[in-house]
A and B are shown apart, each in its own frame.
Chain A
């Protein structure tokens, strides 16, 4: 006679095996049909985005108070009236400081729009990828601002990623540091072509660069413009390490992204690439 514990274990193992097989099937199926994952992702995004937006605003408020108020309170040892005055001015200063820094960020993005003839929407980051393995962001703009899946997300310094899922008021952005991301790329000086993939650890690699191409550390990597997502010539990062082996057809370059993905607060989502005068003439 089989003991109840053994029966339970067998049952759990068989059931686990079935669900694992189902997971493999789902992985393969959703890999071939990305729309399936996107429909579900929209639902999760719609549920969580309002909460994330709330916490993001709250945190900005707390940051502002903490940075500019408590630190100043620590240095005051004057009388009560002056202290009160200092506190009030500090709070006011804090607000102005935040506004100034936001203004600066927005101005940079506006400059970028003018310089590069890109039409876009400025968005705030309100959340980050949940699992640690998917390098993604959640932003506070969605389809009602003209954002659609596949829109490029950039900053003044360089590219950030692309939109993979949207709802009316929020979007999920896959960063270029995610292994599932791929960007057509060029070395700015030599025009050597390759594909930039995320390394999953906050950096990126440029793969499929022909072995005979001369590459040096510090060279700038820019977008190639043929992937249908990113406009040509935007900075991706700089070459940090060259990995090539004798006899191999391609070399792989470790890239340090130009944008610090851990410090992104505001981004520009490209909604349309305007034609420049030169292009219109052609």
Chain B
């Protein structure tokens, strides 16, 4: 119950930050997709049914904010969550570098999957690839900073050693 509630509140604040606050201070391609970072967190530390449903619903929420089509982000988040949860126990999650690499690859996978589900043909590869890269780099830097805080919010764990 606590986790579900925390996830709902985090999702609302994440979308608010993404839509209204960060675009005021950051170039558009470097505005972080915080909902995606939440999915990467779920893949790492909630590799269970809660995580799958959470990732799906976060995607639906992001799709709804776009107002065009429901489903692409949901599908992309589920794929990313699944890929990460399958390797989560083999990644040394205490290492910020390992988490950074996972952030980079996870964000790239999510964005490419989203494009795969939405773009017909590939006429705009150049501009889209640069967008994928910038999003992946942003996730690489932000994920190690966000994970300890998210663990505290979601589970009440203050540092990595609390994690069992």
Contact = CB atoms under 8 A, between A and B. Distances in A.
Contacts of A19: 52-53, 55-56, 74, 78
Interface of B: 12, 15-16, 18-21, 23-24, 27-29, 31, 33, 35, 47-49, 51-53, 55-56, 59-75, 78-79, 81-82, 85-86, 89, 111, 114-115, 117-119, 123-124, 126-128, 130-131, 135
A199 B124 contact: yes
Chain A interface size, as a band, is 35 or more
A20 interface: yes
Nearest to A31: B69
A89 to B, nearest CB: 27
Given A48-B19, A130-B65, A134-B66, A203 B127 contact: yes
Contacts of A165: 67
5 contacts: A11-B48, A37-B63, A37-B68, A47-B12, A201-B126
Interface stretch (A50-58, A79-87, A188-196, A267-275): A50-58
Contacts of A180: 68
Nearest to B86: A9
A203 B128 CA distance: 11
Contacts of A27: 69-72, 75, 117-118
B131 A252 contact: no
Contact of B75 (A5, A23, A56): A23
A23 B59 contact: yes
Given A23-B59, A24-B75, A55-B21, A179 B119 contact: yes
B89 A132 contact: no
B15 A48 contact: yes
B19 A129 contact: yes
Interface in A1-49: 5, 8-9, 11-13, 15-17, 19-20, 22-31, 34, 36-38, 40-41, 43-45, 47-48
Given A55-B20, A199-B127, 9 more contacts: A9-B85, A20-B79, A22-B56, A24-B117, A48-B12, A48-B20, A52-B19, A129-B19, A131-B18
Contacts of B28: 128, 132, 202, 262
B124 A201 contact: yes
Nearest to A180: B68
Interface in A242-281: 252, 262
- With most chain A CB atoms within 10 A of its CB, the pick from B15, B23, B68, B79 is B68
The majority secondary structure among interface residues of chain A is helix
A205 interface: yes
Contacts of B74: 19, 22-23, 26
B76 to A, nearest CB: 8
Contacts of A262: 27-28
Nearest to A62: B24
A43 B60 CA distance: 13
The majority secondary structure among interface residues of chain B is helix
A15 B52 contact: yes
- With most chain A CB atoms within 10 A of its CB, the pick from B29, B65, B86, B119 is B65
Contact of B66 (A12, A20, A29, A131): A131
A164 interface: yes
A44 B20 contact: no
A48 B16 contact: yes
A109 interface: no
Given A12-B48, A164-B67, A130 B15 contact: yes
B51 A44 contact: no
Contacts of B66: 37, 41, 129-131, 133-134, 136
B75 A20 contact: yes
A37 B23 contact: no
Contacts of A156: none
Contacts of B75: 20, 23-24, 27
A59 B24 contact: yes
Contacts of A220: none
Contact of A130 (B19, B81, B128): B19
Nearest to A40: B64
Nearest to A11: B49
Contacts of B68: 34, 37, 134, 164, 174, 180
Given A36-B70, A40-B70, A130-B62, A200 B21 contact: no
